[in-house]
Structure 1
Amino acid sequence: MANTETPPLPALAAIDDLRKRMSASIIGQRDVIDRLVIGLLANGNLLIEGLPGLAKTRAVKAMAKNLDADFSRIQFTPDLLPSDVTGTEVYYQSEEGGSFRFDPGPIFANIVLADEINRAPAKVQAALLEAMEERQVTVGGTTHPMEPLFMVMATQNPIEQEGTYPLPEAQMDRFLMHVNITYPPVEDEVEVIRLVRGEEIAAQRTAKKTPKPTAISQDIIFEARGEIGQIHVSDAMERYMADLVYATRTPGKLSEELARWIEIGASPRASLALDKCGRVHAWLNGRDYVDPLDVRAVAPDVFRHRLGLSYEAQGDDRSADDVIAEILSVVALP
């Protein structure tokens, strides 16, 4: 096993620096920052949900601005068209004649912020499916691959009902994790006030611009992913992850309450997500092996959007997090 007292590897040191930079812009949301970094290193897409004003968009921008990567923001609205996201074939006229050429849409970036994704109709949401899962877009019979570093970070507001379109289960399942952002404690809210005030003052001092820190190279991300791929996962840990997922499909074998609360269990993508995110969590904590704490730390974000709760769960005032906590308490540790 790895010696935790040895100096951090270059990739780990760079990722820790990224987390510190993001923490300087996002106060009181350490867990959210960690989940964004886990999604980046696990090569997955994230769904970020929270009430208005909780820095969902700011968090994604804070990560993108510190990476040497192309960033694109798509503001989803009810009148958006699929071609507004993927791009379209455009006819160009020249002296040699006319021809159609593909004009890439905003989806062709390294980090794509799909802001308020549930405001767009089903056709636009479906336009993201191929890009999120297959890492390519097909327009006019031609397939256009995405960049090696590509991830979608989508935000949605849970209280908006008018003019919104709930995400279909097929698209929800394509998100590696569903991250919830909650209100910060009062101490952190004071720091938020000071931070924004300081940014406004700094923005007015245009004559005294300070140089921006060097952006973290994409090579660091790929190096980190290579190291994460070497993280050891024991047979017992693999079985523990599979047991957790299986418990969502056969809740009656664990307890009568879970049987009443769960209507639809998690798909095999949940097992893969537990494995990926668990290895990243272990790597971020300086270990070369996955233990139960890693799996339990990421399980709520992996399961939150993959469980179909029954009406009885709603009647008992049980949220997905409550059900997940119950599953973690009844499934035996390895």
Structure 2
Amino acid sequence: MAASIELRLTLWICLVFILCFHSVSALIEGLYCGTQSCYDVLGVSRDVSKAELGRAYRQLARRYHPDRFQPGETDDTQESAQQKFLLVATAYETLKDEELRKDYDYMLDHPEEYYSHYYTYYRRRLAPKVDVRIVILVTICAISLFQYYSWWSSYTEAINYLMTVPKYRIQATELAKQQGLLNRTKEKGKNRRSKEEIREEEEQIIRDIIKNKIDIKGGYQKPNVSDILLCKIVLFPYHLCTYVAWNFSWFYRFTIRGEEYGEEERLYIIRKYMKMSQAQFDSLENSLIETFLKQQLWIKENYEAYKKEQEEEMKMKMATDSRWKRYRRWMKSEGPGRITFADD
């Protein structure tokens, strides 16, 4: 029993001795200049100024630089001179930076904080040189600009296509004539324009009417600044509060008070059952939306019956469609992955 107590006491003394040995050592191998003082390496005192520090570094750098070192001038070899040059450069890099110099002086004054010095050294060494917040902000801005440009390209492409559709072009032309925008007046003198200029003006008038009168929805709709990523992130707290307030209002009105659904609420429930986004639902024709309301699809039972009916119609269409028949024959006879010998 006494022997075991003495053994435990000896182990505790050894552990304390090891920890104290590490804590009292101000110069740590692998940190900064290692077991040598950076001030001693450069031959300067701790209150040295930046100008004196620079002069001391330049003198030692000229002496030990691999391109200027002469083996006969000192007792150092080429390899030892190179090692000293690297040590001098490390000391200068440590002391010329004010933040690094503060950390190094703190390590010299507080040798007992052994593990803290390791953390401080590697945190500063491995930390990115550029603020991560700036990188994230620049990335978000770049994505938002690309997103807005892409939306404008899609919207312009849709307008260009509608300009070629006779149905919309004729309607736009009639509206322009009714508004007196295409009533040509004879131009005389120097202000007289060419036929090409008049045609370009008429095309621009028709384009403007199509932009204002046609409601394009879905992926080709007119871009809105509030829909880009940057605005969504900035307005996220507002939208979150609005979402919470809307859900609370819905629960209070229709669950607690038992109010009857309005048209807007009915369309929301139908869209939720169909698992469609707001843009997808808005792109549907008005006649189809009116059919949803007439069939009262906001009621779960009615929607399930409608869904089953649509599935049956799709099956019948696929059974009678010649293209689907050819596809099924191809899948049965050849199909993907089937090994056959083709006679060319």
Tell me whether the two structures share a fold, i.e. TM-score over 0.5: no
TM-score normalized by the length of structure 2: 0.20
TM-score normalized by the length of structure 1: 0.20
Structure number having the greater strand percentage: 1
Larger radius of gyration: 2
Which one scores higher on RCO, CA 8 angstroms, separation ≥ 6?
A: 1
